[in-house]
Structure 1
Amino acid sequence: MTTPVSAGRPDGLRERKKAKTRRTIQEQALRLFAEQGYDATTVEQIAEAAEVSPSTFFRYFPTKEDVVLQDDYDVLLQAALAGQPADAPLGVALREMFRQSFAQISAEEEKDILTRARLQMSIPALRARTLDNLLSTVATLSAGIAERSGREPHDPEIRALCGAIMGVLVTTLLAWVNQDGHRPLGEMVDEALKHLVEGFGG
């Protein structure tokens, strides 16, 4: 998933301060990218706009690419899936996992998702790194579904299912961006997942 780093909803004053700093850095980075272009924007400029030092920037984001790519939504998905009733059909649990996760995204955050997705599609270096993020999400989903179903994460059926889910997410995200975010992303994802889960008894 490509989403704002605030998605982790951390508890505790120290963690909230860290999350606020990360969020500020990302907001300023996205603003500068929109104003002067991704390639023309430097880490130093982002740090200055966020009122932090470059070294602080790198503590939160190892590279400039990461300020677009890094998110905590895998954690959200993992927690949402773990919270589903054990007797719920897998398809139902998966759709509810995404519904609950998207329900935690504010309208402002969704605008940032749109901006970040556009960057990932248009900047070659970001497109290459996006694959790593997708594979990470597949691994997260595989682990959660495997635990729920009593199988191993590398079970061929588990991997195939997770690959299908990621295919749905990617194609839906592309359609959402092409429509300029006209409809809520969560609504479009749920609609697309409905077609998928009906194929395996959800």
Structure 2
Amino acid sequence: MASQVKFRRDDAPANGLRSRKKAKTRLTIEEAALALFAEQGYEATTVEQIAERVDISTTTFFRYFPSKSDVVLCQQGAQLPLLRQTIIDRPAGENDLLAAQHAILAIWVPAIDPVHTKRAGMAAANSAVLRGLYNDINRSWLNAIAEALAERRGLAEADEQSKITARVALGVFTDAIGSWVSKDCRDDLSTVISQHFDTLRRLSGDWAQTN
């Protein structure tokens, strides 16, 4: 199951009126598109409808986004370099799962946009195309986490341990996001994620017991 997370734009504060207007227009287009995807479905939404909702031409839309799918894909990889480096820099005494957890809490959680995440989840629920896009995004996240975990152990490439740990960490994160969204994003996300990791550790202890 893919996590339909949307991150806030991490653009630096725009200098000058023109730059600020461009940043505002991009955000307005993204918000309108996600709202339409949630309301009527990704496949049913056209670029023309998105442009009409924000009172721009389709030509203007394509100046900001090469395609409709880029509205979904934008920003999804922006946090990966910092997440990767944070995992690598975690204390050597931490196990891999804890390193991934701390990095997710430090880098991803503050950047998550709750409104856009809810809309993305609503849209993806009824769209095989969107679910496919998010699966592609999750694969890139999985690879980045696995590679970072391997590097912190001095390996040149991700081994099975790194890949399994990355899958587990991303699975816990995804489940926590689903729980958070189901409660209208009212709870503190860091707490929700930490509780899910704690549950995994408790269950792992139970599973390890033999009769």
Quickly name the TM-score band, shorter chain normalised: 0.7 to 0.9
> TM-score normalized by structure 2?
0.73
* Aligned-pair CA distance for 1:29: 1.3
Secondary structure in structure 1 of the residue aligned to 2:165: helix
Q: Is the 8 A contact 2:101 2:169 kept in 1?
A: no
Identical aligned residues as a percent? 31
Q: Which has the higher helix share?
A: 1
Secondary structure in structure 1 of the residue aligned to 2:8: helix
Q: Is the 8 A contact 2:38 2:122 kept in 1?
A: no
RMSD: 3.2
Distance 2:82 2:26 in 1: 17
For 1:30-179, list aligned pairs within 5 A. 30-50=34-54, 52-70=56-74, 71=76, 72-82=78-88, 84-85=90-91, 88-105=94-111, 109-179=113-183
Q: Structure 2 unaligned segments of length 5 or more: list them.
A: 206-211
Distance 1:29 1:178 in 2: 22
Q: Which runs of 4+ in 1 moved over 6 A?
A: none
Per-residue Cα deviation, 1:28-54 (whole angstroms, up to 9, x for no partner): 212333455544432122234345543
Per-residue Cα deviation, 1:48-80 (whole angstroms, up to 9, x for no partner): 434554344335434323323432343452354
* Aligned-pair CA distance for 1:116: 0.7
Q: Is the 8 A contact 2:41 2:126 kept in 1?
A: no
Q: Structure 1 unaligned segments of length 5 or more: list them.
A: none
Q: Which deviates the most, 76-85 or 130-139?
A: 76-85
Distance 1:100 1:185 in 2: 12
Aligned counterpart, 1:29: 33
Q: How many residues align?
A: 196
Larger Rg: 2
* Aligned-pair CA distance for 1:11: 3.4
Aligned counterpart, 1:10: 11
Distance 1:103 1:114, change over 3 A: same
> TM-score normalized by structure 1?
0.75
Aligned counterpart, 1:189: 193
Higher relative contact order (CA 8 A, sep 6+): 2
* Aligned-pair CA distance for 1:85: 4.3
Distance 1:101 1:20, change over 3 A: farther
Distance 1:159 1:120 in 2: 26
